[in-house]
Structures are given as C-alpha cells and as structure tokens.
Structure 1
C-alpha cells in the first residue's frame, strides 16, 4: 500500500488532507460536546424549584446526550491518534523491511561480484605463475646457452692465441731459414 501511495503522490496528498479534515472534525465535535456538558451541568446544578419533573427529565436527557457525545468524540479522537501512530509504525516497519531486503540483495550482488573477481584473480594468478615458470625455464635455457657460448668463445680465443703463437713461431723459423739460406 505504501508503494502504491509513493507511485501516486497526488492521491497520497489528498488522503493526507482528508485525514487532517477528519481530525479537525473530531476535535470540533469534542469541543462542542465539552461545551454542551458544561452548559447542561450548570442547569442541573442550578436546581431551581420552578422546574417540573418533565423539565427536569428533559435537562437530564440533554446532559446525558451531551456526555454521550463527549465520550464518543473523545474515544474517536483517541482511537484516531492510536490508529495514526499504528499506521506510522507499520509504514516505518514496511520501509525498513524494504530497505533491509534491498540491502540484502545488494550484499548478495556484491558477494557474487567479489567471488567472480576472486575467481578470475585466482585464474590470473595461476596463469601468471605458469608464465613465471616458463620464463624461469627459458631463463635457465638461455643461461646454459650463454655459458656454452662463453665457453666456445673462450675456446676460440685460446685457439686463436695458440694459432697466433704458432704463426709467430713459423714466421720466426722461416725468417731463420731465409737467413741461413743466404749464408749457405
């Protein structure tokens, strides 16, 4: 019912005006009943000897009706206030229930989103771990290749130095042989 009133704000404003009008009418009836009771109570208190039994009965009848109207209008006003308070509490309870339901749905959605993110994060973590493993394997391969290349380089360097020494020795022998040939 509250949601219907929220959707139809014009009807809600008219209903609020009608409630205030009823409250004003109940208040007017109560004040009129109080005035009547005082008026007829004063006539009974006067108790003049000129009153006849019929006149006395008429005064008591009017006093009874005024008191009845006072009690009925007072009770109606009291019930109105109790019902208004009860409706306010029910309305607030319904709003809180709707808010709690909305918060619960929002929390469930956030929980699902967090689980999805955590699930995708764990998949990403696993994928990154696989990449790290691959890179470490590739790194080990590259390191071993680099060491073998360095060993090959060192071997070639030593071989080149050996060849250089041999070349120098052969050149020296050749130069000695040429010198010897000139002397012979």
Structure 2
C-alpha cells in the first residue's frame, strides 16, 4: 500500500474511533459541547468548514482515481494468454476496489461525524432550554400556589367578616324588636295606669 492510501486508511480508522467514542455513553452532550467551545477546538472551529471541504475534495480526487483504476483493470486480457499478467491485473483490480471502499467509507464517515457534532450541540442546547423552561414552570407553579393561598386566606377572612356583619345585623334586628316590644309594653303600662287613675278618681268622687 502506497503512502497516500496508507494515510487515507489511517484517517478512516481515526474516523471509526471518533464515531465509536461519540456513540458510547462516556461523555454527556454537555461535555462534548464544552469541548467544542474550548480553546483547543477554537482554532479548528473557525475554519472547520474550509478544512471539511478541502478534505472532501482530496478524498474525492482519490475516489475518482480508484474508480479509474477499477475501470482500467476490470477487463482481463482475452484468451488468458499470460497467467502472470492476468494475476497482476487481478491484484491491481483488488487494490483499486480496496482503495475505492476505503475512500468511500472515509467520505461517508466524514459526513456522519459532522452530523453527530451538530446533533450533540443541538441536544445540549435543547437540554439547557428544557431546564430553563422547567425552572420557569416551577417558579410559576410556586407563585400560583402562593397567590391561591393568599386568595384563600383573603376569601376566608372576607367570609368571616361577612358572617360577623350578618351576626351584627341580626343582633341589631333583635335589638330593634326588643325596643319595639319594650315600647309596646310601656304604652300598654301607660294605658293601664291611666285607666287605673281614672278608676281611682271615679271612686273618690263617689265617696265625697
């Protein structure tokens, strides 16, 4: 294997390791997001798109070269004249196919890693938003409970005040009834006293 294909194979193994590391539940999405925001990743992050497309361009060139090699050695010589030349052609075809698969998987995993990075960042941001929403909901529920409790206390105090007012009005009405009854009794007593005085006055007149 030549140097360039050894490099591409090493890059493919590196991509496989990165994908496995991202898929394992070792680090949380927040840890990955913090790593993507770190100073170590800062310089690469500023030019990540440029590096990504340059790498895709290089891999695309090697992919086209492997396709060309496969087409070149796809057809064996007619008549199978030389066995050694045919075996050499098959070996070169196998190497071209191997290089094609290596380059194709490297390109595919590059898109997979980019998608995983985006999903990890989005997942962390969504979890932060969910925590903020839950905290706001809890604060709202606590304030609502406080308002309901205060309203309940105010309602109970208002109900007690209304009951006291009703009792006071009831006492006032009973007092007015007693006053009217006392007034009636006084008038009746005055009436009987006058009748008694009249009777007493008539008796004294007859005696004289």
TM-score calculated relative to the size of structure 2 = 0.55
Give the alignment's Cα RMSD to 1 decimal: 4.0
1:164–1:17 CA distance, 2 compared to 1 (3 A): farther
Q: Please say if 1:44 is aligned against 2:90.
A: no
Over alpha carbons, which structure has the higher Rg? 1
Higher helix share: 1
Structure 1 residues 127-166: aligned runs within 5 Å? 127-166=150-189
Structure 1 residues 109-120: aligned runs within 5 Å? 109-120=132-143
Q: Which has the higher contact order (CA 8 A, sep 6+)?
A: 2
Corresponding residue for residue 116 of structure 2: 93
1:28–1:101 CA distance, 2 compared to 1 (3 A): same
The CA distance in 2 between the partners of 1:99 and 1:75, in whole Å, is 36
Corresponding residue for residue 102 of structure 2: 79
The CA distance in 1 between the partners of 2:140 and 2:161, in whole Å, is 31
Contact 1:34 1:70 in 2 (8 A): yes
Which 5+ residue runs of structure 2 have no aligned equivalent?
Answer: 1-44
Corresponding residue for residue 24 of structure 2: none
Which 5+ residue runs of structure 1 have no aligned equivalent?
Answer: 46-58
**Count of residue pairs brought into register by the alignment:** 156
Contact 2:56 2:107 in 1 (8 A): no
Q: Which residue, out of 17, 32, 49, partners 2:72?
A: 32
Q: Please say if 1:105 is aligned against 2:143.
A: no
